[in-house]
Structure 1
Amino acid sequence: MKKLLALLLASLSLAGAPAVSGAAGPVVNTIVEPAAPVDPKVEKAVKELLVAMKFRETMGANFQMMLKRMPAMILQNATAGINANTKLTPEEKKAALAKAAVDIPKAIKGMEATFTDPTLLDELNSAMVPLYARHFSAAELGELAKFYGTPIGQKMLKTMPQILGESMQVSQQVMGPRIQKQIEQVVK
C-alpha cells in the first residue's frame, strides 16, 4: 500500500504541476504557518480579488481537469514502475499489475471524493485570505481586482485553463522522467 501511495502522490504532483508552473520562483516554505489576524480592510480586498479572479470557478475547473487525467497518469506511472523493477520476476510483475489495476481505482474514488467535496472550495477560498494578505496591501489587492475587471484581465482568466492544460503537458515532459526515477526507487 505504501508503494501505491507513493505512485499516487507522484502522479498527483504531475497533475498539479501547472498550478505552480507559472510561479515566479521556488517555493521556499512549504509548511503553512498559522495565519496572523488579517486586517478587515485587507480581508475584504482579498475576497473581492478572489471574486474578480473567479477563484472558485477556476479551482473547480482545475480539479475536474485533474480528475479526468489522474487515472491514466497513475496507471501509466504504476505500470512503468512495476515493469522497471528488476527485482520482480515476470510472474510477480503480472501479479503487481493486477493488484494495481484493483487498488488504483479504489484510491482514485477516494481522491474524487476529496476533490468533489463541496466544502473544499470554501476552505481553499478562506485559506487564501491570509496568504494574499501576507503578500499584498489592500491598495495592491484593489489594483489586482481592477486588472481582472479589464478586458486583458478577463482574457487572462478565460485563457488560463488552456494555458494550464498545456503547461501540464510541458510539466509532464520535463518532470516525468525525474518522477519516474523516484517511483522506480520506491517500487524496488
Structure 2
Amino acid sequence: MKKFVACLTASLALLGAPVVVHAQAPDAAATAAAQELFESMHYRSLMVDMMRQMSQNLSQTIRPMLEAAINNDKTLSAEQRKLALGKIDSKLPQINQVMAEFLNDPTLVDEMMAQAVPLYARNFTADEIRQIAAFYRTPVGAKMLAVMPKLAAESMQSSQQLMIKRTQSMMQKLIEAMQD
C-alpha cells in the first residue's frame, strides 16, 4: 500500500510537472489587461468552484485507482491483496482529507492566478486581452462564464474516467519496473 501511494504521488507529480519556459517578461499593459480580464471573468471564483468540485469527487477518483493498483500488483499474495483492499476503506478518509486540504487551500488559487496573468500577457497583446474581456461582458460571454464550472466538472469527470483506465496499465508497468 505504501509503495502504491508513493507511485501514485510520483505519477500525479509527473502528470502535473511544470514545463520550464524561459520567456521575456510580459508587457506591462498586457499584464494589466490580463488582470482586468480575470476580474471580468470572475476567475478567482471559477477556480475556487473548480477546486471544490475536484475536492468533492476525490473518492470517486482515488478509490478505483487504489483498487486497480492493488489488484494489478503481482507481488501481492491473495491474502496481502485482500488486506490491502480492506485498508482502502479505513485509509480513504485520511487520503481524501489531505487532498481536500491541498485543493481547498486559498493560496493555491492565488498562486495559480499569479502564474496565469503572465501567461496571458505573454501570449496576447493588451488589445487582444481587452477584446476577450469584452466578449465576456456580452450575453454569450456571460453565459459561458456561468456554464464554465459545470463544463469543467463534467469534463473533469470524463477525463478522470479516461485517466483511471490509462493509469491502471501505467501503474502496472511502474510496479513491474520497480520489481526489477
TM-score, structure 1 as length reference: 0.79
1:24 is aligned to none
Aligned pairs for 1:41-120 within 5 A? 41-120=29-108
RMSD: 2.8
Q: CA, structure 1 residues 10+151, in 2 after alignment: closer, same or farther (shift >3 Å)?
A: farther
* Offset at residue 96 of structure 1 (A): 1.9
Residue 167 of structure 1, CA deviation: 1.8
Paired residue type of 1:163:
L
| Distance of 1:43 and 1:107 partners within structure 2 | 38
Q: Which runs of 5+ in 2 are unaligned?
A: none
User: Is the 8 Å Cα contact of residues 40 and 136 (structure 2) preserved in structure 1?
Assistant: yes
Measure the CA separation in 2 of the matches of 1:126 and 1:3.
Answer: 33
Match of 1:76, SS state, is helix
The 8 Å contact of residues 38 and 133 in structure 1, kept in 2 or not, is answered as yes
Identify unmatched segments of 5+ residues in structure 1.
17-28
Higher mean alpha-carbon deviation, 58-67 vs 100-109, is at 100-109
- In the other structure, the counterpart of 1:5 is 6
2:133 paired residue among 145, 158, 167? 145
**Larger RCO (CA within 8 A; separation ≥ 6):** 1
From the superposition, tell whether residues 13 and 163 of structure 1 become closer, same or farther in structure 2 (CA, over 3 Å): farther
User: Which whole-Å CA distance do the structure 2 matches of 1:153 and 1:118 have between them?
Assistant: 26
Range with greater deviation from structure 2 (78-87 or 38-47): 78-87
**Percent of aligned pairs with the same residue?**
35
TM-score (norm 2): 0.82
AA at the equivalent of 2:7: A
Structure 1 stretch displaced more, 122-131 or 142-151:
122-131
Question: In structure 2, do the counterparts of structure 1 residues 72 and 166 end up closer, same or farther at CA, with 3 Å as the change threshold?
Answer: closer
Tell me which of 152, 158, 181 is aligned to 2:169.
Answer: 181
Per-residue deviation, 1:178: 1.4
Separation in 1, partners of 2:13, 2:96: 11
After TM superposition, give the deviation of residue 70 of structure 1 in Å. Answer: 1.2
Shifted more, 30-39 versus 69-78: the winner is 30-39
Call closer, same or farther: CA 1:33–1:5 in 2, change over 3 Å. Answer: same
Deviation at 1:127, TM superposition (A): 1.1
Give the aligned partner of residue 146 of structure 2: 158
